[in-house]
Structures are given as C-alpha cells and as structure tokens.
Structure 1
Amino acid sequence: MHAFVSSRLDYCNALYAGLPSKAIHCLQLVQKSTARVVNNVSRFDHITPTLQELHWLLIRWRITFKVLVLVYKALKGLGPAYLQDLLAPYAPARLLPSESGNTLVVPRFRSKLGERSFAFQAAIAWNVIPAKLRFSSLLVFKSHLKTYLFDFAFNTV
C-alpha cells in the first residue's frame, strides 16, 4: 500500500510547488488515508502521531524536498541542463564575511502566477535551508534534508 500510493503522490510533485494549500489538500487526504490503512488507525484518531511514527513528510514538505533535490542535482551538474539554466547563483557586489555562499538569486515577477515557477520556488526554498546542507554529498544532503524538513513540519525542533 505504501509503495503503491507514495510513488503516485511523489510522481512529478515538483510541479505542485507554489500551489495554494487548498489545491494540495486533496493529495494530503490521500496520504492521511494511506497512513490510516498502513497502521490500522481509526478514522476518528488524530493522524499526526501516525505520520510521525511512519516518518512521512506531509505533502507540502514532500514537494519542497523534491524541489530541493532537483536544485542540488542541477547545481552539482547531476541534473538536466535546462534546470541549471533556470537557477542563477547569487554573487554579491563585494564579499562579506557573513556571506555563507551558495545561495540563489530570487527572480522577480510582475504577477503572482510567476511566483509559482520552478525558478522562484527553488530559489526561495534553497536560500532557507542551512548552509551546511548545501555543501554536503547527495546522500548526506537527502538524509539531512528530510530530517530538517520533518523537524520543521512537525515542530520537533
């Protein structure tokens, strides 16, 4: 059940980045129902402890995870070149000691629709994660990123 449903929830979910919560709500209901079936939890019980026990990210954070993995791969030359073309590294006019480096320029748009673009969502999400994550290897990046997002999503920090 987990493999069947999760693979479909994750398929092309980077396209959902920037969607309003109302649009993602249907996918979240599917994930919650799957968690109830997997752990044999009543529909009247609170689902958050079950999601934490299964160590499943909520749909919104799964989307962020997927986007950040795509950004990491694009910046390291492991992903498609067309994604790398959408990402512009931030280069300050003068180097400051406090500048951690490896951040991205957030593109500006005249409309709210432009804020749903991959370039905007990727830059916003990439600039928020801790700098130590940005400089790690792919396997360490994925592992620590999931832990970081899980802690952030469930406020366990």
Structure 2
Amino acid sequence: MERQVNTACRNAYYDLRRISRIQKFLDAAACNQLVCALVIPHLDYGNSLFYGLPDYLLDKLQLVQNAAVRLVTQTKKREHITCKRKSLHWLPIRQRVMYKIAVLAYQCVNGIAPSYLCKLVSPRSVNRRLRNYSEISRDLGAPVKLPGAYGSRSFTYAAPQIWNSLPIDLKMSPSIENFRAGLKTHLFKLAYPD
C-alpha cells in the first residue's frame, strides 16, 4: 500500500501546484471547488483500503489534505491548520476512511450493496427477547479476522467493528442520504471535539 499512498500523494501535490499557479485569479469558493474536484478525489479513491494502515502512511495523506486546506484558506505554512479544516467542514483522513466503510456497511445491512459485499458481513444473531417485537438487531456479527498479516484490514473485520460502534439512531436511518448526513455529523464531532 505504500506505493498506492505515494502515488496518490504525488498526483494530489501535482494538482495542488497547478491550482496554486492560478490561485490569484480565483476567489475562495472557486479555489475550494477546484481542490474538491481535482485534489480530494486522489485522497478518496479506494480509501476504504486505507483502514488499518500504519500511521506514517495515513500521515502522508493527511499532509496532502493539510496542504489543500492551506491553499484554499491561504494559510501560512507555520499556522495551525485544524481550525481551518474544521471551517471547511472537511473530515480528516482517518474519519474519511471510517465514513466510506460505514456507508458500505449501511448498504450491506439494508441489502442495497452488491451481493459480493453483503456476503462478507452478517447480521448479529440475537438469542434473547428484545424489548418489543418491532425492535430488530441492527448490529453486525463479530469482526472476522482473516488469517495473515492483513486480516485486520479486511472488510469482514473493519465493517462490523465500525458499524457496531455507531449510535443506534444513526443505524436506524430510513435512507442512505439521512445516514450519510448523520454519519458525517457524528464523525465530525469525533474529529473536532469542543
């Protein structure tokens, strides 16, 4: 994965340099749109595979996002960037990875994901009587760690772990749009506690 991360960083920095050359002709909103259209997709492409990566690789991706925030907000290199990223409503890289996996888990639980993904996770079986008959268990079965060095990074391990940590009201969202909005709010509060 190191090669994948390095390639994503290199391509994102290339686009950041291109945008910085024309930044004086752009207002802040246009610069933000360009960065979201050209740079952020490099960080988000296949980012569910970044779950469980070592910190030094995730930090490389975070540095790219920080550079994008500096470009959009015209912040100097030595200034603190977290409050600027928060003002843009951008999730840090770790939370973006969790967001992607949680959305896939929601789709699996509700049967709208591709069948090959739905087969990788299973709902938790409840052996006890729930408080009322309309209540159903929305948790996924225990995370299954596949053998080998990368078993804890697999979807069968990551999806139940992330899904089961979410609040129940978020898991009960009636639509994918509501779930995404609530999930972003939840992860935003985790990333930027005040």
Q: TM-score of the superposition, structure 2-length normalised?
A: 0.75
Indicate the structure (1 or 2) with the bigger Cα radius of gyration: 2
* Alignment correspondent of 2:50: 16
Deviation of residue 93 (structure 1)? Answer: 1.9
* Alignment correspondent of 1:129: 166
Letter in 1 for 2:116: Y
CA contact (8 A) 1:16 1:63 kept: yes
Higher RCO structure, 1 or 2 (CA under 8 Å, sep 6+): 1
* Alignment correspondent of 2:97: 63
Q: Which runs of 4+ in 1 moved over 3 A?
A: 96-100, 108-112
**Using the alignment, how far apart are the partners of 1:112 and 1:150 within structure 2?**
31
Confirm or deny that 1:44 pairs with 2:44: no
Any unmatched runs of 5+ in structure 2?
1-34
2:138 to 73, 90, 102: 102
Identity of aligned residues (%): 38
Letter in 1 for 2:165: V
1:146 to 143, 160, 184: 184
CA contact (8 A) 2:126 2:137 kept: no
Let me know the Cα RMSD of the aligned residues: 1.8
CA contact (8 A) 1:100 1:131 kept: no
Aligned positions of 1:71-90 closer than 5 A: 71-90=105-124
Deviation of residue 74 (structure 1)? Answer: 2.0
* Alignment correspondent of 1:113: 150
Any unmatched runs of 5+ in structure 1?
none
Q: TM-score of the superposition, structure 1-length normalised?
A: 0.92
CA deviation profile, 1:28-72 (whole Å, cap 9, x unmatched): 000000000011000010000001000100000000001111111
